[in-house]
Amino acid sequence: MIKKSQLAWEYLENYRRQALPLLELFFHKQKEEAKKVGELPAESLDYFHNLCRRGKFIRGAFITLGYHLGGGTKKGEILLPSLAIELFHTAILIHDDIMDEDNLRRGIKTAHTYFTDYARRTKIPQPEHFGLSQAITLADTGFYLSWQLLLESSFSSSLKLKAGQELAKYISRLTYGQMLDITNETSLTTPLSGPAAAEETLKRILKIFRYKTAEYTGSLPLIIGYILAGGEEKIEALYNYGLAFGWIFQIVDDLLGIFGQQEKLGKSLGSDLVQAKKTILVYYLLENDRQDLLNQLRKLLGKKKITPTDLEKAKQLFRDSAAYTKARQLSQTYLQEGLEMIPQLSSHSADQDLLESFLYLVLEREK
């Protein structure tokens, strides 16, 4: 039996195969520019390129998908601006990893860890502060290289401008979501239980999900691609489909953070526990209102290091409290919402199949 996600995987693989050489060319050119300033900027771009090309490329592929749904025909030309969001994403992950104090990302060292090690190796004093500073700056580079990719592409000025306006608007909102996320992470250590608290927590979690992940991961790239194709009338439907996709993406992210496989995931398991993040799993455990489970959870949250035993305990806890099952059910709800939007997006069965397949892909993803 062919998996429902098969079509989307193929689309993604195909996108990746075409996009990677362009990404390499772009960084090759940028490295020449950076070298005029110095060796370290050029080397830093090597790291950035390496981190970037290890991404899943879902957002970039969604730009090409949105472009296709808008009737765009320059299949070769959409690839370059579609990479703008992959560069942005890599950059924001670098800032994210600083905040989450993570050491592993996409299977390699996170940027601040990489530059801290670099400083140790080359005997630069205060290696951790150096690592932090370089990582902050490299992400800033990424933001502006991402704009170069979008603005210098071959599309008309007015289309690029419209796409750029959407990008700036959505990313500003993403940073607001990020601010809430930071506060959220650091506020679970205060006592919290009972249905009222759970209700409040769910509202906060869903808000963060919406702005930090769902809109940005699903809706934004589809809309950018659609706009670059000159499309107008389907923006709302794309927004809604993308949002459903994005919700699922984030729920699965929270699940994978505990139940995933580290090798496939490319980042450290249990990091959400270290950061005491209010994930969807934590929410459902709070909602459950069983004091014994809550107390067990509190012992795990905020630990400096999560051992394999801790991780097993956490899995058990989220299973016992039915949090795992409820999170899965929530993702199914969003699957339905996404599926319902599809007829508005295209009347071609091949497109509809692809849009459906992408919802299953994100639901089944292991990284």
Query: Is 103 among the residues that bind its own copies (CB under 8 A)?
Result: no
Residue in this structure with the two tokens 């993702």, named with its chain if needed: 331
User: From the CB of 210, what's the least distance to its own copies, in Å?
Assistant: 9
Contact 247, 331 (CB under 8 A): yes
* Helix, strand, coil share (%) of the chain residues, nearest 5: 80, 0, 20
Verify binding: residue 172, its own copies, rule CB under 8 A: yes
The reply on whether position 160 binds its own copies by CB under 8 A is yes
Round to whole Å and give the CA distance between 144 and 134: 16
Question: Site for its own copies (CB under 8 A): which residue of 76, 125, 191, 308?
Answer: 125
Closest Cα partner for 332 from 342, 321, 344, 340?
A: 340
Is there binding between residue 33 and its own copies (CB under 8 A)? yes
Query: By the 8 A CB rule, do 227 and 159 touch?
Result: yes
Among 158, 309, 347, 349, binds its own copies (CB under 8 A): 158
Residue of the chain from 14, 154, 186, 325 that contacts its own copies (CB under 8 A): 186
Element (H, E) at 22: helix 6-37
148 binds its own copies (CB under 8 A): yes
Binding residue (CB under 8 A) for its own copies from 5, 11, 26, 44: 44
Calpha distance 261→227 (Å, rounded): 37
Figure out which of the listed residues 20, 108, 182, 339 binds its own copies, where binding follows CB under 8 A.
182
Residue 47 backbone phi and psi in degrees, to 5:
-60, -45
Q: Which stretch binds its own copies (CB under 8 A): 35-43, 257-265, 315-323, 343-351?
A: 35-43
Q: In terms of CB distance, is 8 or 167 closer to its own copies?
A: 167
Task: Indicate the residue type of 363.
Answer: L
Nearer to its own copies, 276 or 314 (CB): 276
Nearer to its own copies, 224 or 363 (CB): 224
Q: How far apart are the first and last CA of the chain?
A: 23
Binding of its own copies by 266 (CB under 8 A): no
Least distance in angstroms from the C-beta of 171 to its own copies: 4
Non-local CB neighbours of 340 within 8 Å, separated by 6+ positions: none
Q: What is the rounded CA–CA span in Å between residue 202 and residue 291?
A: 18
Stretch that binds its own copies, among 56-64, 143-151, 191-199, 335-343 (CB under 8 A): 143-151
Residue 84 CB, shortest distance to its own copies, in Å, is 10
- Two tokens, residue 135: 């990582």
Dihedral sign for Cα atoms in the order 185, 179, 253, 47: negative
- Closest distance of CB 291 from its own copies, Å: 22
* Residue 30 binds its own copies (CB under 8 A): yes
**Is residue 121 involved in binding its own copies (CB under 8 A)?**
no
**19 sits near its own copies (criterion: CB under 8 A):** no
User: What is the rounded CA–CA span in Å between residue 119 and residue 117?
Assistant: 5
Instruction: Give the nearest distance from C-beta 239 to its own copies in angstroms.
Output: 15
φ, ψ at 109 (rounded to 5°): -60, 140
> 192 by DSSP, 3-state: which?
coil
Among 15, 41, 89, 280, binds its own copies (CB under 8 A): 41
25 makes contact with its own copies (CB under 8 A):
no
Select from 216, 214, 238 the least CA-distant residue to 226: 238
- Measured CA to CA, the distance from residue 284 to residue 248 in angstroms comes to 16
Residue 333's CB is within 10 A of a number of other CB atoms, namely 13
Residue choice 57, 130, 226, 249 for contact with its own copies (CB under 8 A): 130
- Amino acid found at 37: V
Nearer to its own copies, 200 or 366 (CB): 200
Does 316 sit near its own copies (CB under 8 A)?
Answer: no
Contact positions vs its own copies (CB under 8 A):
30, 33-34, 37-38, 40-41, 44, 92, 95, 98-99, 101, 119, 123-126, 129-130, 132-134, 136-138, 140-141, 143-145, 147-148, 151-152, 156-158, 160-161, 164-165, 167-169, 171-173, 175-180, 182-183, 186-187, 189-190, 207, 211, 302
